[in-house]
Amino acid sequence: MTTTTTTDVAPRWELDSLFRGGSTSSDYAQFVDQLVADIDAADQQSKTLPQDLTTDNADEWAQWILSVQDAAERLDLAYLYALSLISQDVADVKATSHTQRASEIHSRYKALESSLESFAMRQSDEAWETLMAIDGITNIRFYLDELRRNARLKMDEPREKLALELSVNGYHAWHLLYEKLAGDLRVSVEEDGETKEISLGQNSARLSSSDRNVRRDAFEKMEGAWETVADLAAMTLNSQGGFRLSLYKNRGWDSALQEPLMRSRMTQATLDAMWNAISKSGPELKRYVRAKCDRLGIDKFCWYDQEAPIGATERKYPFEEAGDFIAEHLGSFSPEMGEFTRTAIEGKWIEAEDRPGKRAGGWCSWVPIRKQARIFMTYSNTYDALSTLAHELGHAYHGFVLKDEPAFNSAYPMTLAETASIFNEMRVNDAALRAAEGEEKLALLDLKLQATLTFFCNIRARFLFDSSFYAERKTGNIERAQLSELMKQAQQQAFFGMLDDDQGLHPLFWASKLHFFITEVPFYNYPYTFGYLFAKGVYARAMEEGPSFASNYRNLLADTGKMTTEEVAQRHLGVDLTKPDFWETAVKACLSDVDEFVALVK
């Protein structure tokens, strides 16, 4: 990539092709009203249809199931539009109300889904086969079979619906309380001789400063802020964990991992094989961290040193140039991927402008009804921003591959959700590395190995904490001091003893990390590591076979919504994820840059 002295303005997206009028759109209001009416009608119809499936009423039930699928697809659009509005302008009060209403509609839809589960569970195998043979139902069989199988592991319909209803103002309300708690916290910092108050989100950016004093101050300010509300955070976490465990007990589930594994469409054997492979990565990771500490001139590695930058990446990457770079290097592997990238940029699907009033972070969502994607980020002309853009375009491409699939076949698990995004990142990162030299190359290698450290150690610490938390929570509430102790133990194990025992740990990580408080997805941690390693394995195969692998890669993505995780790997890569071979090879590939990094540091 060539350096340019010009600075272009990153683009804003357009939303009018979704609905005209922004947060006051009458089209959107009518769309949502109709969706609610259709969900209510489907709910009533489920009660009037004959409850026992026969050849005489199978077509009626098939049409009802397809109406539920249609509601799911429209709900995605309703939520996406509301999310887009509030993301582009956090002060848009009307958009906030749209988001709240979308959440309420989601609860109504989940009740409808519960009726579908109950219907599927009580039918005989013979009657079920009759239904599965009907046009429109046959091609969503995987989803329906899975739903039927999982329903048999739950409570009866009335109790499941009651739990769902109570969770809105109970279980999920704890998550909202946590977000309010975290959002209100502020810390005082000294900048340009002045003291000012900043949010924890703004403070977190200081953790990647090249100045260790700034990183340490950011960490201490964060710990201090959470110290003031740690009792409330402990109450919140205990309440959420208690709700889950009570629900699991009534379903007859012994393991807290049963729900997340069902959601991931994977087995415990696969999860164990992955973590076992990672547990052997300590020696190489220690070499990386030791070399990094030598370069930084520090004796003891601390939590706040994980994102410390080394090398120099002063080159600027204007948005237009970044888009061309991504399209070129994706296109050299798959022309379709390169063309899709240009379509997304030229179609104004990306909100990238750096301006006040936007939400932090980034996301991507495919809009099946419109056959479009929307990507939200704030582009900053840096290499990190280029990498993020490539990542989100990967998510969008995944949606594009599934564009002609029914909605139920597009619901892929979180474990496979990062495949295309991380594949894009790796492709673009390797291209940037080939063009880099000296300090810039060192910086890019460090960013790659930082990611490996995060997925292998930081996220593993979260998983170990979650595991011990749910084991302890079965006997009663866990005091905040004990939560911190469990977290320290998890960090010491996950980081292979690399973190300084006295000052290097982050005892209140259980309080400060949003992922522990997300009620929609329990164990919101291991899918990230799985996705990183799985994508690494897919990418290695792509580099080995070259462009001839592009069609196989596309087919792999197309099957992510209608197979188990293990089946996707077996069919398209010919590997058994329950065995160590694939994982050990992927781990080795992730650590392959350590030698070059250490040599460059020296």
At 123-153, the pLDDT tens digits run: 999 999 999 999 999 999 999 999 999 999 9
Of 454 and 313, more confident: 454
**pLDDT interval class at 88 (50, 70, 90):** very high
pLDDT (average), residues 104-111: 90
pLDDT of residue 178: 87
pLDDT value of position 465: 98
d(CA 81, CA 85): 6
Q: Please enumerate in sequence order all residues whose Cβ is within 8 A of that of 512, keeping only pairs 6 or more positions apart, or say none.
A: 182, 200, 222, 223, 226, 506
In this predicted structure, the answer to whether residue 473 has a pLDDT above a threshold of 60 is yes
Estimate to the nearest angstrom the gap between the alpha carbon of 550 and the chain centroid: 24
pLDDT at 1 over 80: no
Residue 602 has pLDDT above 90, yes or no: no
153-183 tens-digit pLDDT: 999 888 988 998 888 888 988 988 888 888 8
Question: Is 506:303 a contact under the CB 8 Å cutoff?
Answer: yes
Interval 195-251: pLDDT, tens? 988 888 888 889 989 999 999 999 999 999 999 999 999 999 999 999 999 999 999
**pLDDT above 50 for 593:** yes
Ranges 16-25, 80-89, 166-175, 265-274: which has the least confidence: 166-175
pLDDT at 313 over 80: no
Question: What pLDDT shows up at residue 361?
Answer: 81
Question: What's the pLDDT at 394?
Answer: 97
pLDDT at 82 over 70: yes
- Residue 331: pLDDT over 50: yes
Residue 6 has pLDDT above 60, yes or no: no
**pLDDT for the residue numbered 4:** 42
- CA pair distance 255, 542, nearest whole angstrom: 37
255-295 pLDDT, tens digit each? 999 999 999 999 999 999 999 999 999 999 999 999 999 99
- Could you count the other beta carbons within 10 Å of the beta carbon of residue 13? 20
* Domains of the chain, CATH where assigned: 22-153 (1.20.140.70), 319-412 (no CATH)
Average pLDDT over residues 70-89: 95
Query: For 531-546, what is the mean pLDDT?
Result: 95
| Torsion, Cα of 242, 248, 253, 254 (10° steps) | 0
pLDDT exceeds 60 at position 45: yes
Over range 420-443, report the average pLDDT. Answer: 93
CB atoms within 10 A of CB 59: 13
Q: CA of 173: how far to CAs of 127, 246, 478, 520, in Å?
A: 40, 17, 20, 11
Structure-block tokens of residue 518:
């997300």
The token pair at 264 is: 């991931």
% of the chain beyond a pLDDT of 70: 99
Which residues, in sequence order, are bridge partners of residue 301? 499
Burial status of residue 150 (CB atoms within 10 A of its CB: 0-12, 13-18, 19 or more): middle
Q: Mean pLDDT over all residues of the chain?
A: 93
Q: Which of 18-22, 172-176, 499-503, 542-546 has the lowest mean pLDDT?
A: 172-176
Which of 301-315, 318-332, 480-494 has the lowest average pLDDT?
A: 301-315
pLDDT band, very low/low/confident/very high, at 3 (cuts 50, 70, 90): very low
